[in-house]
C-alpha cells in the first residue's frame, strides 16, 4: 500500500482529507472533551504543542503507509468536526481496524455513518481489505448502534486482550 498521494474522499455532505497543522485547535478539543473521550483512554492533546505533535505523528504514520486518518469536514468548511481512521493493519494487509471521533455538536446527524460507509467502501474496494474491525467499549451505545447500522456484527468469540471492557465488531467484504 502506498498512501502518497493521500486519498481525499468526498461524500454527499463531507470532505475527508489529511490532517493539517491548522487543525490543531479541533484536534485538541477532540482529544480533551469529556463527552468525546468518555469511552476511550488515550493521550490528550491539551495545548497547541501537543496537538501539533499528534498531527505530526499521525502524518508520519501515514507517510510510512501504516495508517490512514482523515479529518472529517463539511463540504465548504475547512474546520475539522471529527476524524476517522483505518489502522492496525494485519501483516497480510487483509484486515484493518476503524476508529472515529466526532464533535458532539454534530452527533445524531448521520455524519459519522456517512463517513464510515465511505471509508468501508474505500477499504474494501481500493485497499482490498477482507475484514474491518471496530473495538468499542461495552457501554458505548452510540458506537454500537453506528456499527450495527452499518453492517458490523459482534464477534462474540474474540476478546480485546488490552481492554476487557471492549467488544469487537467486524464487517467482511
Domain that holds residue 80: 9-172
Would 78 be classed as within a structural domain? yes
Please report how the helices 141-149 and 111-125 are oriented relative to each other, as an axis angle in degrees rounded to 10: 50
- Alpha-carbon distance 173 to 158, whole Å? 19
Would 2 be classed as within a structural domain? no
End-to-end CA distance of the chain: 18
Give Cα 21 to chain centroid, integer Å: 18
Would 51 be classed as within a structural domain? yes
Would 19 be classed as within a structural domain? yes
- Total domains in the fold of the chain: 1
- Alpha-carbon distance 1 to 116, whole Å? 20
Task: Quote the pTM value.
Answer: 0.95
The answer to whether 19 touches 58, Cβ cutoff 8 Å, is yes
* Mean per-residue pLDDT of the chain: 96
> Which residues have C-beta within 8 Å of that of residue 126, sequence separation ≥ 6?
7
> What is the per-residue pLDDT across 137-153, written as a single tens digit (0 to 9) for each?
999 999 999 999 999 99
Classify the phi-psi angles of 113: left when phi > 0, otherwise alpha if psi is within -120 to 50, otherwise beta.
Answer: alpha
> What is the per-residue pLDDT across 94-151, written as a single tens digit (0 to 9) for each?
999 999 999 999 999 999 999 999 999 999 999 999 999 999 999 999 999 999 999 9
Would 134 be classed as within a structural domain? yes
What is the CATH classification number for the domain harbouring 51?
Answer: 3.40.630.30
> What is the per-residue pLDDT across 149-170, written as a single tens digit (0 to 9) for each?
999 999 999 999 988 899 999 9
Amino acid at each position: 500500500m502506498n498512501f502518497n498521494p493521500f486519498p481525499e474522499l468526498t461524500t454527499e455532505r463531507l470532505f475527508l482529507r489529511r490532517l493539517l497543522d491548522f487543525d490543531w485547535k479541533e484536534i485538541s478539543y477532540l482529544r480533551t472533551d469529556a463527552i468525546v473521550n468518555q469511552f476511550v483512554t488515550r493521550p490528550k492533546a491539551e495545548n497547541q504543542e501537543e496537538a501539533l505533535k499528534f498531527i505530526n505523528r499521525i502524518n508520519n504514520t501515514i507517510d510510512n503507509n501504516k495508517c490512514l486518518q482523515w479529518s472529517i469536514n463539511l463540504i465548504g468548511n475547512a474546520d475539522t468536526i471529527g476524524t476517522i481512521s483505518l489502522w492496525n493493519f494485519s501483516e497480510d494487509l487483509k484486515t484493518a481496524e476503524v476508529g472515529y471521533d466526532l464533535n458532539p455538536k454534530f452527533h445524531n446527524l448521520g455524519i459519522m455513518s456517512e463517513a464510515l460507509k465511505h471509508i468501508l467502501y474505500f477499504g474494501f474496494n481500493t485497499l482490498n481489505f477482507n475484514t474491518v474491525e471496530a473495538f468499542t467499549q461495552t457501554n458505548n451505545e452510540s458506537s454500537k448502534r453506528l456499527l450495527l447500522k452499518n453492517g458490523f456484527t459482534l464477534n462474540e468469540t474474540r476478546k480485546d486482550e488490552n481492554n476487557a471492557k471492549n467488544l469487537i465488531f467486524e464487517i467482511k467484504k
